[in-house]
């Protein structure tokens, strides 16, 4: 097969995956149009409207809004302006934009899997992702994940191809930096990618190029905030509030969340933390550390519960039983695929891919457990785990036989 034909075939598969996922995600987003993300309604959409009004992301005191980085509000501002020009509602435009993000994510995940397993087997990854109910759910309500994942997955895809060119490593860094400007928890992604490149023997220069590119992407925002607010803020001021939210989730008053029952000791610990934070609003993190240290048994229980809930919990706490059983099935398939890779039943490049995916999954799991433990924050990890699924049906012997047949066929094209 010629290189030109191979590129056309790759583009064709990617386009098919993109269109199929776009249709499914658009339908899901419109069906679930009454869903609204709390962060979208309270922070991101207001900031986007302020940008269109010329605020430059400044509040009434002239300070920069630094609770979250500017990537998502800027994207929304562009979407709102386009919606106004086309005569569409903001909700319809955001739904279509989210569906587009999910479709791009599907195409990139297909490319990641195809890099190891081939275009055909990688369709399993695309098919599972495009029908994954929790991914489709993110097409509604302005959830940030649909806008964040294309950049994260793109950075991973570029890093996998960094051996072909040093420019690929720098491009991976650019995409990782853009991911950070959308979701601050991505701050460690470029470090993971750089570490993986170094360990794989790709050379420290490519890792340095990746890290430099990602740093240059976020530097203007850091400088802008520092020169205006007088403080060096690493992308977000929401870290501590998010941690407190995560360790008091069962005892806070909320009209939109169902009650959750936890062990008595954990409930008392969360109550003490909440009361302590309200009494000492100037040192909330110190209260959390003090209370966790004073009751280590309940603290360990709380951490274990949060670590488990990260894989299936919902922000509203509805449908969590159904979510748990669904996740067991998806994680079971991914775990089985990982086991086949470890037993070397797959191409040689599968094990380095598994190592990279597990590093990123572990990072997302850790950061999600540290804050509010909900499945929505783990969607990027789930997408990458689906890249392992072609290993379930991959056969070294069958692949070797197909390669031999192609090489001896009188009609085979010269590569």
121/101 same-domain check: yes
Q: State the pLDDT at residue 97.
A: 97
pLDDT, tens digit, 9 for 90 and up, residues 155-192? 999 999 887 677 899 999 999 999 999 999 999 999 99
Q: How many residues does the chain have?
A: 415
96/199 same-domain check: no
* Site of tokens 């809930």: 309
pLDDT band (50, 70, 90) for residue 202: low
pLDDT, tens digit, 9 for 90 and up, residues 101-135? 999 999 999 999 999 999 999 999 999 999 999 99
Of 80, 108, 143, the last residue of a domain is: 143
Give a yes or no: residue 281 inside a domain: no
Q: How far is residue 397's CA from residue 26's CA, in Å, rounded to a whole number?
A: 40
Give a yes or no: residue 308 inside a domain: no
Give a yes or no: residue 267 inside a domain: no
Report the C-alpha dihedral over residues 11, 13, 19, 24, rounded to 10 degrees: -150
For residue 343, what are its two tokens? 């037993």
Q: State the pLDDT at residue 52.
A: 95
Kindly provide the b/e burial profile for residues 117-141, where b requires at least 16 CB atoms within 10 angstroms of the residue's own CB.
Answer: bebebbbbbbbbbbebebbbbbbbb
pLDDT, tens digit, 9 for 90 and up, residues 381-392? 999 999 999 999
108/124 same-domain check: yes
Average pLDDT for residues 221-250, to the nearest whole number?
92
209/101 same-domain check: no
Give a yes or no: residue 412 inside a domain: no
Domain, as residue range, for 37: 1-143
58: helix, strand or coil: strand
158/29 same-domain check: no
Closest-CA residue to 144 (of 57, 236, 41, 65): 41
Give percent above pLDDT 90 in the chain: 74
Q: Is the pLDDT of residue 403 over 60?
A: no
40/154 same-domain check: no
Q: State the pLDDT at residue 412.
A: 41
């Amino acid at each position: 097969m010629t290189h030109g034909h191979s590129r056309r075939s790759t583009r064709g598969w990617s386009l098919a995956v993109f269109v199929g996922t776009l249709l499914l995600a658009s339908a899901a987003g419109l069906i679930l149009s009454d869903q609204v993300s709390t962060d979208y309604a309270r922070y991101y959409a207001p900031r986007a409207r302020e940008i269109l009004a010329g605020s430059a992301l400044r509040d009434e005191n002239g300070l920069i809004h630094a609770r979250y980085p500017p990537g998502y509000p800027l994207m929304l501002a562009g979407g709102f302006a386009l919606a106004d020009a086309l005569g569409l509602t903001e909700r319809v435009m955001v739904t279509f934009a989210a569906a587009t993000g999910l479709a791009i994510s599907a195409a990139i995940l297909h490319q990641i899997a195809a890099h190891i397993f081939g275009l055909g087997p990688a369709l399993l990854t695309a098919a599972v992702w495009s029908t994954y109910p929790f991914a489709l759910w993110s097409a509604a309500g302005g959830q940030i994940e649909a806008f964040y994942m294309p950049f994260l997955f793109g950075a991973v895809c570029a890093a996998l191809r960094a051996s072909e060119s040093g420019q690929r490593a720098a491009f991976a860094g650019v995409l990782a930096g853009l991911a950070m400007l959308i979701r601050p928890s991505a701050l460690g992604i470029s470090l993971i990618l750089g570490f993986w490149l170094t360990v794989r023997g790709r050379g420290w220069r490519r890792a340095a190029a990746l890290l430099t590119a990602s740093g240059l992407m976020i530097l203007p925002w850091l400088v802008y905030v520092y020169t205006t607010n007088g403080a060096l803020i690493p992308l977000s001021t929401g870290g501590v509030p998010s941690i407190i939210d995560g360790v008091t989730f069962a005892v806070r008053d909320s009209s939109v969340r169902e009650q959750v029952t936890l062990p008595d000791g954990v409930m008392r610990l969360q109550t003490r933390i909440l009361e302590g934070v309200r009494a000492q609003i100037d040192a909330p993190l110190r209260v959390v550390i003090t209370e966790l240290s004073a009751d280590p048994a309940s603290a360990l229980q709380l951490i274990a519960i949060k670590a488990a809930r990260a894989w299936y919990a919902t922000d509203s706490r509805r449908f969590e039983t159904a979510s748990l059983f669904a996740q067991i099935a998806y994680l079971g398939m991914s775990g089985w695929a990982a086991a086949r890779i470890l037993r070397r039943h797959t191409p040689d490049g599968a094990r380095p891919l598994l190592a990279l995916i597990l590093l990123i999954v572990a990072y997302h799991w850790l950061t999600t457990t540290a804050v509010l433990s909900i499945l929505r924050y783990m969607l990027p990890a789930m997408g990458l785990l689906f890249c392992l699924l072609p290993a379930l049906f991959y056969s070294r012997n069958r692949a070797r036989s197909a390669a031999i047949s192609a090489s001896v066929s009188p009609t085979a094209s010269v590569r």
